Each structure stands twice: as structure tokens, then as C-alpha cells.
Amino acid sequence: MATAKKAEAPAKKRAPNAAFMKPLTPSPALAAVVGKDPLPRTEIISKLWVYIKEHKLQDESNKRMINADAKLKEVFGKPQVSMFEMAGLIGKHVK
């Protein structure tokens, strides 16, 4: 009895979602943190994390929380946000 060998399908690479790659213009409040040039949403989030880590704004006891300094408070609208709500709050500051 011969066993048929299944052909393995090559792993599919995920195509980047065009909506995430579209350059968005940051508001003046957000531009103070990430720069005024239009950037894709993914790059805006990356630059925010660089800023947060450089200024040690992650809460020491709960790393999921971000303590806003004066610049980030203008963007977030409150003194502390979770990393999960950060992306939603950014949406109000890009066109």
C-alpha cells in the first residue's frame, strides 16, 4: 500500500493593510511628539512608544499604564491611559 505524500503549501505572507499604511497628518498637539510630517498610523504609534520610553512615562507598578507628561496630556486628554486605549485616542488627532 503506497502512501500519498501531501504537498506542503508555502506559508502565506500577510499583505499590509492599506489603511494602516496611508500617511496621516498629525494634529498640532500630536505633532509636538511625533513630528509634523504625514506618517502611517503604525509609524505614529512607534514614535509614541519611543517618546514614552525615552521620557520614562510607563507606570513603574503597572507597565500597561502610561503617565502623560504635558505634551501627551494634550493628546490623551487625561493624566493616565492604558496602552490599549492609546491607539483609539490617537485617532482623534490624525487626518
Q: What is the pLDDT of residues 10-52, one digit of tens each?
A: 666 777 677 778 899 999 999 999 999 999 999 999 999 999 9
What is the rounded CA–CA span in Å between residue 72 and residue 66? 10
The string over 6-33, giving b where at least 16 C-beta atoms fall within 10 Å of a residue's C-beta and e elsewhere, is: eeeeeeeeeeeeeeeeeebebbebbebb
List pLDDT tens digits, range 52-77. 999 999 999 999 999 999 999 999 99
Q: Is the pTM of this model over 0.85?
A: no
Query: CATH number of the domain at 22-93, out of 3.40.1160.10, 1.10.245.10, 3.40.50.10470, 1.10.10.60?
Result: 1.10.245.10
Query: Of the candidates 29, 46, 48, which has an alpha carbon nearest to the alpha carbon of residue 94?
Result: 29
